């Protein structure tokens, strides 16, 4: 079975994961909750490649979790902000944060 077929699964957890359950996606949302909104900011903060970031942002917009917003009219530029639907993923990020703090101690400092 392919991962993408999960969007029609009977289980709400599976359906959720079909949108945010692949590599990097939840990390982008973490950045959004930290106040970041621009392409270059996501790149710097998360360490993912531009390639993947562009693809993930497209999917998150299609899923109605982020909104693509023009923030500059001169050289047309766009950033990404959480929709209401996206905001409501906050509790999920919080639980993952709490678990990480408790069960995943830092082994070496990377300062980034």
Q: Using CB under 7 A as the criterion, which residues of the chain lie in contact with DNA when the complex forms?
A: 1-4, 22-24, 38-41, 48-52, 54-55, 57, 68, 74-80
- For residues 74 and 105, which CB has a smaller minimum distance to DNA in the complex? 74
Mention every residue, 6+ apart, whose C-beta is less than 8 A from residue 48: 24, 27, 28, 42, 56
Rounded to the nearest whole angstrom, what is the least distance from the CB of residue 67 to a second copy in the complex?
15
* Binding partner of residue 13 among a second copy, DNA, none, CB cut-off 5 to 8 Å per kind: a second copy
> To the nearest whole angstrom, how small is the minimum distance from the Cβ of residue 99 to a second copy?
5
State the burial class of residue 14 (Cβ atoms within 10 Å of its Cβ: 0-12, 13-18, 19+): middle
Distance (Å, whole) CA 53 – CA 43: 7
Would you say 71 or 100 has its CB closer to a second copy? 100
For the chain, report the end-to-end CA distance as a whole number of angstroms: 37
Contacted entry of DNA, a second copy, none for residue 38, CB cut-off 5 to 8 Å set by kind: DNA
**Residue 40 binds which entry of DNA, a second copy, none, with Cβ cut-offs from 5 to 8 Å by kind?**
DNA
2 or 103: CB nearest DNA: 2
């Amino acid at each position: 079975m392919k991962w993408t077929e999960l969007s029609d699964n009977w289980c709400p957890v599976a359906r959720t994961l079909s949108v945010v359950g692949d590599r990097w996606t939840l990390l982008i949302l973490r950045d959004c909750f930290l106040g970041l909104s621009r392409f270059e900011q996501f790149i710097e903060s998360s360490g993912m490649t531009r390639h993947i970031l562009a693809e993930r942002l497209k999917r998150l917009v299609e899923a109605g979790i982020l909104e693509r917003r023009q923030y500059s009219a001169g050289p047309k530029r766009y950033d990404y902000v959480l929709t209401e639907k996206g905001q409501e993923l906050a509790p999920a990020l919080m639980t993952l944060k709490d678990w990480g703090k408790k069960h995943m101690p830092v082994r070496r400092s990377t300062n980034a």
